[in-house]
């Protein structure tokens, strides 16, 4: 990596961490659903895309105040996530997991097409929560990147506290550990499961809304979601701290990888995933040792 001075390295590191933070928000959604139902939601990145598009609709097209549009977009995605589970996924209980894989994959494709129908296939930019840059002794960073990192950190902490201390959070852990026993306790398992889908979709929407100002939003934005998959797998699929760690690692390493191998731009995440899995096939924090949510 010749030609990089300290400021460049710092710049890349922070951009990478911001990117990794956004991956981790998407990955948290994936892992939440996987732990609760052992299903994998391939439409998670489309939830993120929809979050960005709804934000665009509310804030830019309808001219709502920023925070109102921002929160409303997240709420709408929560509703979509809940309804999707309640109407579609819940019926698949008892069917092979494979069916849900394909179903969610197809849902993602349909959602992309629908988004294109409503909002077009062009790229656009979302307004920033806090425009401008911050100058850290020569290292110039956009506030958007800082906010992405802070938001992911705060939400991970909030999620941890929610699962550790709240009644509903503990019940969600219980149902992901033993669904039948949760039923026997009288817990409203179906509603709780749909709520987990809502939570996952909301995390995806937040990632989309935070990504909007950094990158351009288009129907193709969902491909970022695959990097979140890579991050979650690196961390040991099924562990939320692992997924966050894996995503941060991948996000952090990616800009350096791209600088070092410009011809291989964009595949860094997968190369890292391969490398980690060769050494630790179970991922960094595997479920065996740490199945804490």
Partner 1 sequence: MFNTPIWGPAMTDLLKLENVETFYGRVMAIRGVSLSVLEGKIVSIMGSNGAGKTTILKTISGALDPFKGSIKLDGNEISSQDPDVVARMGVAHVPEGREVFSLLSVRDNLMLGAYCRRDRGAVQQDFEKVLGWFPDLRSFIDKQAAYLSGGQQQMLALGRAFMQKPRLMLLDEPSLGLSPRLIGEIFDIIKHINREEGVTMLLVEQNAAVALETCDFGYVMETGRIVMEGDRDRLLASENIQEFYLGVKDEGVREERRWKGKKTWR
**Least Cβ distance, residue 103 to partner 1 (angstroms):** 23
Q: Report, in this order, helix, strand and coil percent for the chain, each rounded to 5.
A: 75, 5, 25
Place of tokens 């097209």: 61
Question: In 3-state terms, what secondary structure has residue 166?
Answer: coil
Q: Rounded to whole angstroms, what are the CA distances from 147 to 112, 128, 210?
A: 27, 10, 8
Would you tell me which residues interact with partner 1 (CB under 8 A)? 167, 170-171, 173-174, 177-178, 180-190, 291-292
Nearer to partner 1 (CB atom), residue 101 or residue 291 = 291
Nearer to partner 1 (CB atom), residue 130 or residue 181 = 181
Nearer to partner 1 (CB atom), residue 178 or residue 220 = 178
**Least Cβ distance, residue 181 to partner 1 (angstroms):** 4
Whether residue 29 contacts residue 199, with contact meaning beta carbons closer than 8 Å, is answered with yes
Q: What is the dihedral of CA 207, 213, 218, 224, to 10 degrees?
A: -40
**Least Cβ distance, residue 293 to partner 1 (angstroms):** 9
Instruction: Tell me the residue ranges of DSSP E strands in 8-138.
Output: 133-136
Nearer to partner 1 (CB atom), residue 180 or residue 278 = 180
**Least Cβ distance, residue 173 to partner 1 (angstroms):** 6
Backbone angles phi and psi of 139, in degrees to 5: -95, 115
Nearer to partner 1 (CB atom), residue 35 or residue 227 = 35
Measured CA to CA, the distance from residue 12 to residue 159 in angstroms comes to 28
**Least Cβ distance, residue 104 to partner 1 (angstroms):** 24
**Least Cβ distance, residue 290 to partner 1 (angstroms):** 9
The C-alpha angle with vertex 156 and arms to 154 and 161, in degrees rounded to 5, equals 95
**Least Cβ distance, residue 235 to partner 1 (angstroms):** 18
Give the residue from 69, 72, 207, 60 showing the smallest Cα distance to 125: 60
Nearer to partner 1 (CB atom), residue 167 or residue 279 = 167
Nearer to partner 1 (CB atom), residue 127 or residue 169 = 169
Measured CA to CA, the distance from residue 23 to residue 14 in angstroms comes to 14
């Amino acid at each position: 990596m010749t030609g990089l001075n300290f400021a460049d390295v710092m710049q890349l590191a922070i951009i990478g961490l911001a990117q990794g933070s956004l991956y981790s928000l998407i990955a948290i959604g994936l892992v939440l659903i996987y732990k609760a139902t052992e299903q994998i939601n391939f439409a998670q990145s489309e939830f993120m895309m929809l979050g960005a598009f709804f934000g665009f609709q509310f804030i830019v097209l309808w001219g709502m105040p920023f925070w109102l549009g921002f929160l409303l977009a997240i709420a709408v995605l929560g509703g979509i996530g809940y309804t999707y589970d309640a109407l579609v996924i819940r019926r698949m209980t008892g069917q092979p997991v494979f069916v849900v894989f394909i179903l969610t994959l197809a849902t993602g494709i349909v959602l992309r097409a629908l988004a294109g129908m409503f909002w077009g296939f062009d790229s656009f930019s979302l307004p920033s929560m806090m425009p401008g840059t911050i100058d850290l002794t020569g290292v110039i960073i956009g506030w958007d990147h800082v906010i992405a990192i802070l938001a992911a950190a705060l939400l991970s902490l909030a999620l941890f506290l929610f699962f550790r201390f709240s009644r509903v959070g503990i019940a969600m852990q219980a149902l992901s550990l033993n669904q039948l026993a949760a039923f026997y306790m009288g817990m409203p398992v179906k509603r709780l499961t749909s709520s987990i889908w809502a939570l996952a979709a909301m995390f995806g929407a937040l990632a989309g809304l935070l990504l909007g100002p950094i990158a351009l939003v288009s129907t193709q934005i969902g491909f970022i979601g695959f990097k979140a998959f890579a991050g979650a797998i690196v961390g040991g699929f099924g562990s939320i701290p692992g997924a966050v760690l894996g995503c941060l690692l991948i996000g952090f390493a990616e800009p350096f990888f791209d600088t070092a191998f410009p011809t291989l731009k964009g595949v860094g995440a997968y190369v890292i995933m391969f490398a980690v899995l060769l050494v630790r096939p179970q991922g960094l924090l595997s479920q065996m040792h740490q199945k804490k949510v």
